[in-house]
Structure 1
Amino acid sequence: MKYEWLDEYCLSKKGAIKDFKEEWDATRYLVGGKMFAMKGGDKDNKAIITLKCDPIFSHSLREQYQHIVPGYYMNKEHWNSLYLDGDVPDDILKQMIDMSYDLVVEKLSKKMLKEITGGFV
């Protein structure tokens, strides 16, 4: 697999944890109990990561990279799936992970943010 750094990068985010959702056969990355990334497979079992994304940026990425598609089994406006055997540059995938994490964190309660940041909001 390309992107060997993927797991470590997702877990480097403040408060990030991962679990395995057996019924989805997918690894989820969560912050504050909310998912910001999911690594699994599509209907043909091709490896993908699905990330939350700003709708306008989402559309732009899909036009620019053939290996970025509307979120598999997710809201197609707010989520993208990226094929892990594709040719998307590392820095673009990192930017997508950062955006997904930030979009999820900004929707967390102040109480949850304090828990994640150790009291700093």
Structure 2
Amino acid sequence: MTPEELSDFALELPEAVDDEAFGPGAAVFKVEKKVFAILQDASEDRPPQVTLKCEPDLALHLREQYAAVVPGYHVNKRHWNTVVLNGTVPVEELREMVEHSYDRVVAGLPKAVRERLRLLRTV
């Protein structure tokens, strides 16, 4: 999955927005002003990568399953994973990780907001 494809997919989620809260080179995807993904451009020494929120046990499992999944970069390493976008994680798995991150963030929102977003997702 390319960074552009990941960005397009993340923005398909209800009320997801993209901004550069951390400056150029890092797209920050939010729902209700809460971050669910940070997409970093490639640099001279590394390919592009995305940091996603994750349930702690699942985070450990994904790190064991894929070499491209490592503890979150500059975030709580228990609750976040960074995925190197080098083509080794299957596209469908990466989509599930993005959706899981979005769902984890939505779960922490007020009930009325969660319900509204749930309804938008089923439309």
Q: Which TM bucket (shorter chain)?
A: 0.7 to 0.9
- Cα RMSD (Å) of the superposition? 2.5
**Alignment length, in residue pairs?**
119
- The aligned runs of 1:84-103 (5 Å cut-off) are 84-103=85-104
Per the normalisation by structure 2, the TM-score is 0.83
Q: Report deviation, 1:109.
A: 1.6
- What amino acid maps onto 2:7 in structure 1? D
Q: Label 1:22 to 1:60 Cα distance change in 2 as closer, same or farther (>3 A).
A: closer
Q: Deviations over 1:40-99 (max 9, x none)?
A: 158845311000001001000101100000000110000000001240001110110111
Per the normalisation by structure 1, the TM-score is 0.84
Q: Label 1:60 to 1:114 Cα distance change in 2 as closer, same or farther (>3 A).
A: closer
Structure 1 spans left out of the alignment, 5+ residues: none
List 4+ stretches of structure 1 deviating above 6 A.
none
**Mapped contact 1:3–1:90 kept (Cα < 8 A):** no
Alignment-derived partner of residue 35 in structure 2: 35
> Take 1:99 and 1:84, find their aligned partners in 2: how far apart are those partners?
17
